[in-house]
Each structure stands twice: as C-alpha cells, then as structure tokens.
Amino acid sequence: MELLKNLNSLGIVSVKNVYHNLSVSELVEHALNNNEGELSDTGALSVKTGVYTGRSPEDRFIVDTEDVHDLIDWGKVNKPISEDVFEKVYGRLIAYLENKDLYVFDGYAGADDKYSLKVRFINEIATQNLFVHQLFIRKETRDFEPDFTVIAAPNFKAVKEIDGTNSEAFILVNFKKKIIIIGGTMYCGEIKKSVFSVMNFLLPQKNVLPMHCSANVSKDGDVALFFGLSGTGKTTLSADGNRFLIGDDEHGWAKDVGFNFEGGCYAKCIGLSKEKEPQIYNAIRFGTVLENVVLDKSKHPNYEDGSLTENTRAGYPIEYIDNVVLEGKAGHPKTIIFLTADAFGVLPPISKLTKKQAMYHFMSGYTSKLAGTERGIKEPKATFSACFGEPFMPLSPTVYAKMLGEKIDEFNANVYLINTGWHRGPYGVGSRINLKYTRRMVEAAINGELEKVDYILHPIFNLNIPINIDGVPTEILNPINTWENKEEYIKYANELAARFIENFKRFEGVDEEVILSGPRVEE
C-alpha cells in the first residue's frame, strides 16, 4: 500500500503490474521471458545496449533551481536545464509508463548508515532492475521512505524539438524534487553514475569527501586508496591477494570512517582473462549482468571481441569477489595513490607528493589517450579530468581538493603519484613500465618503505623521486636516465609541463602555493 501511495505521488497511477524487490532468480526469469537478453554458459545474463554502449555526457543535465543555482559548477560538464523542460519530459515519461509492468528496487548508496542515501529505483525493464539490485546496497527495507527516486525507461525516447533535450537520450537530475529520470539509453552505467553524482553533491555538505577511487585494506587495518582514470591500472593494482577489497569505484571519507558507496562492482571486461584477473573472471556467473560482451556459439563470453564496444562491462555484487570487506567500511586511509598512464614517457614511475602537490594533481587528474584509441588521435593526447572523475562532480573541483588537503593534514596520509605508462621514450618508441616493478612500488608506498628513503627533485615536474627502491632497477626511477636522447626527453617533458600549466588556468580562487607546487617549463 505504501509503495502504491508513493508511486501515485510521483504521478504513476495506472500500471499493469508492480514487481517490488524481486529476487535475483525472479529478475533473471523476467528478463529472459521479456527477451531482454540470454544466459551465457557461466549463467550470467548477457544483454546488448544498442546505440548507447557507454555514458552520454552531452545528454546529462541538472535542473537549475534556486536552491542549487549558486552551488553547482555550471559549464560543459554540469549543464543546466529549466524546471519547465524537466516537467515537460517528466510528464511525457509518466504518460508513457501507464499500463506497463514496472520493476521497483529499494536500495542504499553508502555503506555507513550515518551517510547513506535511500534510493528507490523504478525500472521499465527487468535487466536494469537486476543491475541496481546487484550494484547498490541491500538492507532491511521495511517502512522504506526514499531520499531520492530514479526512474529509468530506456525504451522511452525524448523528442528534442518537443522536449528541449539534446537528443533522444536524457539523464535529468532534479535536486529540488529529489528525482532522476533517465530515458533513451539501455546502458546501466548511467543509473550508477547518476546516483554517484547525487552523493558527490550531498556529502560535502556533511563534511564527507566523496571520491572516485578503489580502496583496499590490510589485515592490520591500513587503508589504501587508488585514484585513476580508465587504463591507468586502478582495478589491477587495488586487487591484491594480501589485502581486502573495500570497493572498486566510489567511496566516502568522513571524520570517523571510510566507506564504499556501493554493494557491487561494474568491471570492464575487454581482454579479461582468468590468468590476469581471476577474481573478476570468476565473478561472472548467475546474477551478473554482462553488457555488450559477444557470446560464441556455445554461449561462452568472448572477452577479446570488442566489435560491439571496447567498453564491455560486468555488473555483480561485491560478495562474488574473494577477499572483500562485506560491510563496506574501514578506517582512514594511510596511503593515497594517484595513477596516471603517461604515454609521453616523461613522468617518474613514482613520486612522493606534498599536501599542496596532492591538491594540484588531484585537481589536474592527468592521464593520456593513445594513438588509435579514438578516431583522429595520431599521437598521445594529454587528458585532464578534475578529481579523477570530473563528469560526476557537481561542485567546483576546488571544493573537493580543499577537503582532500584537510583530510591529508588531519590524518597524516602519505600521497604518491605513480606512472603506469611509458619510459625509455614516448608511446611507439619506448615501452610500458613493467607491471612487476609497479606492483613493487605500490607495495613500498603502502608498507611505509618510502618514508625512509632519500629523494631528488625533478626540475621540470617539481616532483620528489625516490633514489632507491628494493626490487626496482634504480635507473628507471628518474625517467631521463632511460632515454638515449636527453634533449628529446627535456623537450617532451616541457611540452607536458606546459599542458599541465595551461589546464590549471581554468581553476579560479586556488591557493598560490598549490599553483606553484605544479610543473614548470624549463628554459
């Protein structure tokens, strides 16, 4: 009765059936009966998402209301729409849902009760309801009153001439009404990241730093965070058989606890193998949602096939992974690692950062795209995504960076910048840094070895480089030593430093000491 009352308050008054908090097996059965996908030979539900095989940032908007207008960092990432446009799309969406079956899941974002968000997901299709069931936190839902509601109807397409949207797809976040509506796209990641965006707006108001990072913890309670954009090794390096995974993607850092936002994982599958990533490989079983992974004739997933998209995905609950912290909570981070894959081959493989440098590189969020990864890219391209997750950050990057600096101070965390990219030359000339050496550097950072070694200062990047690390060849620690042509190294390093400097000009009101802690072009 309470559920129907809630649906009616949203304008949903006439539906065929409401399936509320179905089990995994029931949702899989509905998805198969609705011809939404097929089972792989591992038991996972394999689906294709059609035209949209990834997020559609140009179709994401925040409703510009008085209560959020002065808080949102408006621009290319956080694009405003009016309340009138939202109401127009919302009205047509609700009319579309009349007399249809709806799937409802009540879940939580945030593993710590003090900071969690109760979210009601209303889905047009069973597959997406299975996804949110597996990705978000499942707790007791008796007398559940949602803090936020997400309505996702992938088969409802907006008409931009009528609705005022950018295209047929839309992701509209309304903080005033506490509603997110998503349409025109089957890609489950839009649901996940829209809730993440809401948490990133709300939690700083509670003095909680929201973070786009993975996290693990030792048996002794030492927590490490791993920030990094796609392709930097965030998932690979945080998966450590000697440590326990807290979460693979989204976390909060409060005054008394660090906690996972989610109850599941959303792993990339392209190139997945049992030998390299056995935990993810073995997690793809009954209850897992596989997106855009091609199945062979025997229904076995072909993880090498990127014909539908390179962004193939698997969504599964975190308990499908061994060595996890099921409660999703741990202490304060002792070690923070920023990962970058520098294809110019000029950044040191590891550097120790001061607090100001940590703020600088956090706001920069640098990595590089490689030639051939996108049409038109013929040489490595510097990419900057503030906070290592700019598309999901509604507030100014300076807000999150200031909070990070305060947390580092308060809890005396050590911060390192690790380059998992190239050395001995740029991409196409040099080689990728050996993963074995990178793992040893990560280990040395986490276990405290690097607090006891001597450092030298890199003259261009202004970074402190350790002179020696046991198990790592000394010559690779200072990247200029690996280049045959030293003048060529300096040229490439200056070019990348200039890109850092140019990118940082977009940030206003930044402490001068933070700016001066960044790279400098050598005359």
Instruction: Report helix, strand or coil for 510.
Output: coil
CA dist., res. 270 & res. 277, Å (int): 12
Which of these is catalytic: 141, 167, 230, 373?
A: 230
Phi, psi of 54 (to 5 degrees): -160, -175
Instruction: Please answer whether residues 472 and 437 qualify as being in contact, where contact means their C-beta atoms are separated by less than 8 angstroms.
Output: yes
309 in active site = no
Which of these is catalytic: 212, 243, 352, 423?
A: 212
Pairing of strands 366-369, 313-317: unpaired
235 in active site = yes
424 in active site = no
- Token reading at 38: 């097929």
452 in active site = no
Which of these is catalytic: 249, 312, 383, 385?
A: 249
218 in active site = no
Which of these is catalytic: 234, 356, 361, 423?
A: 234
Comparing CA positions, the residue from 443, 432, 446, 430 lying closest to residue 472 is 443
Is 225 buried (19+), middle (13-18) or exposed (0-12) by CB count in 10 A?
buried
Instruction: Report helix, strand or coil for 480.
Output: helix
212 in active site = yes
**Which neighbouring-strand residues pair with 339?**
228, 418
Instruction: Please answer whether residues 325 and 217 qualify as being in contact, where contact means their C-beta atoms are separated by less than 8 angstroms.
Output: yes
Which of these is catalytic: 185, 194, 197, 235?
A: 235
Residue the block writes with tokens 């003095």 = 207
Instruction: Please answer whether residues 183 and 159 qualify as being in contact, where contact means their C-beta atoms are separated by less than 8 angstroms.
Output: no
Instruction: Report helix, strand or coil for 459.
Output: coil
- Whole-Å CA distances, 399 to 241, 260, 455: 35, 21, 31
β-sheet with 313-317: strand ranges across = 38-39, 45-47, 289-291, 313-317, 264-268
- Token reading at 268: 């990339």
- Residues sharing a CB contact under 8 Å with residue 67, sequence separation 6 or more, in sequence order: 175, 176
What's the sign of the alpha-carbon dihedral 387, 494, 76, 265? negative
Which of these is catalytic: 30, 193, 356, 402?
A: 193
CA dist., res. 452 & res. 319, Å (int): 37
**Which neighbouring-strand residues pair with 268?**
313
Which of these is catalytic: 55, 60, 251, 407?
A: 55
Instruction: Report helix, strand or coil for 348.
Output: coil
313 in active site = yes
**Which neighbouring-strand residues pair with 316?**
265
**Residues assigned a catalytic role:** 55, 193, 212, 230, 234-235, 249, 313
